[in-house]
Chains A and B, each alone.
Chain A
Amino acid sequence: MINLLFYLAATVALMAAILTVTRHNAVHALLYLIVTMLAISLIFFLFGAPFAAALQIIVYAGAIMVLFVFVTMMLHQGELSTRQEAQLYRPSQSLGAIVLSLILLLEVVYLLSVPERWLSSQQMTPISAKQIGITLYSSYILLVEIAALLLLTALIGAFHIARRHQEGAS
């Protein structure tokens, strides 16, 4: 059962990802990207990480992608930008991305062909939020602090840019 659900979610994620790349309408592309996020969240859930699944939806689908759609929505000019996009995009341009993805695909195929323990599907116990919290604030405390520092810097930077803009306007 879990296998079937996984393959279903994975297929949806892949299809949506492909559609994301090939859409000319930027907002449609972003919507497919959101579908990919949701499918990935389901995969997390299936593999016993409900906390990560919830965060995937809250943070990626619910916050970051909202901002993406928000900005695209403001810049989108209907038919005009769709046509522009269609002119800009040529299949040959995706060559680099295809090569890189092929390398990843080969890697996955190799991993699947080797019967090693890192891919064994048994013994998956759900990880609780508490365990994640304990791990984050013990072994990975340095990473948490670095991330906090980065976010603070970004916050100050954004504040600075917005403030200068305001003074210039008045």
Chain B
Amino acid sequence: MNELITPIIILILLLLSAAMLTWVERRVLGLWQERYGPNRVGPFGLLQVVADMIKLFTKEDWIPPFADKVIFVLAPMIVMIMMLLGFAIIPFSPELQIADFDNAVLFFLAISSLSVYSVMLAGFSSNSKYALFGALRATAQMISYEVFMGLSLMGVVMLADSFSLSEIVEAQREQWFFIPQFLALLIFLIAGIAETHRAPFDLPEAEHEIVAGFHTEYSSMKFGMFFIGEYLGVLLISMMIVTLFFGGWLGPILPPLVWFLLKTMLLVLFFILLRAAIPRPRYDQLMSLGWKYMLPLALVNLLLTGALLLFNQ
């Protein structure tokens, strides 16, 4: 019974926190840009999320007549399903992990590579030029950054000698992996931003050139699903970084779950700070950054880690 209820509670909490993140992001962005942000609805604007939800749910759910209907409806579902599936492998605390299996790191990579389809199919099925451009950009960006996202994780896997996330956390008892794997952390962070197409790498939805990119034709809750999916992606990437590089739930005095959530919060705030601080690069700059700097760097990191491991044996 417990096995059934825990995942459902986690799912609901995740969806709620992803929705709350939209408010957090706007408030914090406001703070950094010396303005108020949404502060009208409820205390501190806390009910802004509810207002947004009501707005999204009651808007007309319009499917364009020129769209490929089945795929059009399917695309936003894929992103939600993939992102929520991803949380199944996260060890929130020693006791709280939905699925602990051997190939969890590979599972994460599979999830992130399958979530490309949502963006791609959204762009294709919309049958509109801006959506198509957005989808083309998103696809090229995501499959390029996936390559060294996987490569950067291999250093961690080599140090922990396991693909299982709980064992990776256990392996960090003496030293968190962000010290020996600093390069990998940097690469994974950048790839993570590109994978979730967040600012500054939000070229697939760059509003000043291609309207809203792949979700131009989406309205109402279908757009809402892309929107929440993006925040779920930010949460997932933050949690993965915490698990892989910052010792997961490890930490003194406080209970493990609190440590995990604290670290995740800090990383999420860092993601938001990046959005506030860094301008968007040009598209070709983004691609050449990926292939010309990140990929060789990931390979060098892999080589160095392997060499050091062999040397220390």
Contacts and interface: CB of A to CB of B under 8 A. Distances in A.
B110 A66 contact: no
A129 interface: yes
Interface string A34-49: 1000000000000000
B91 to A, nearest CB: 18
A54 B103 contact: yes
A78 B222 CA distance: 23
Interface in B93-116: 101-103, 106-107, 109-110, 113-114, 116
B132 interface: yes
Contact of A27 (B107, B124, B163): B124
Of the four ranges (under 10, 10 to 19, 20 to 34, 35 or more), the interface on chain A belongs to 20 to 34
Contact of B107 (A28, A54, A61, A76): A54
A66 B116 contact: yes
A62 B103 contact: no
A21 interface: no
Nearest to B74: A31
Interface string B244-288: 000000000000000000000000000000000000000000000
A115 to B, nearest CB: 33
Interface of A is mostly: helix
Interface of B is mostly: helix
B150 interface: yes
Interface stretch (B135-143, B184-192, B227-235, B304-312): B135-143
Given A70-B136, A74-B136, A63 B146 contact: yes
A170 to B, nearest CB: 15
A50 B143 CA distance: 23
A66 B103 contact: no
Contacts of B107: 54
Interface in B12-56: none
B113 A70 contact: no
Interface string B117-160: 10011011001000010011001100100100010000000000
B124 A66 contact: no
Nearest to B120: A69
A50 B121 CA distance: 28
Interface string B42-85: 00000000000000000000000000100100000000000000
A36 B114 CA distance: 14
Nearest to A27: B124
A73 interface: yes
A116 to B, nearest CB: 31
B71 A66 contact: no
Contacts of B127: 78
Contacts of A63: 113, 143, 146
Given A66-B143, A70-B120, A57 B136 contact: no
Contacts of B103: 50-51, 54, 129
A58 B117 contact: no
Interface in A52-78: 54-55, 57-58, 61-63, 66-67, 69-70, 73-74, 76, 78
Given A69-B120, A70-B120, A73-B124, A62 B135 contact: no
Contacts of B71: 27-28, 31
Contacts of B68: 27
A58 B109 contact: yes
A101 interface: no
B113 A61 contact: yes
6 contacts: A31-B121, A61-B110, A61-B113, A63-B113, A73-B136, A129-B102
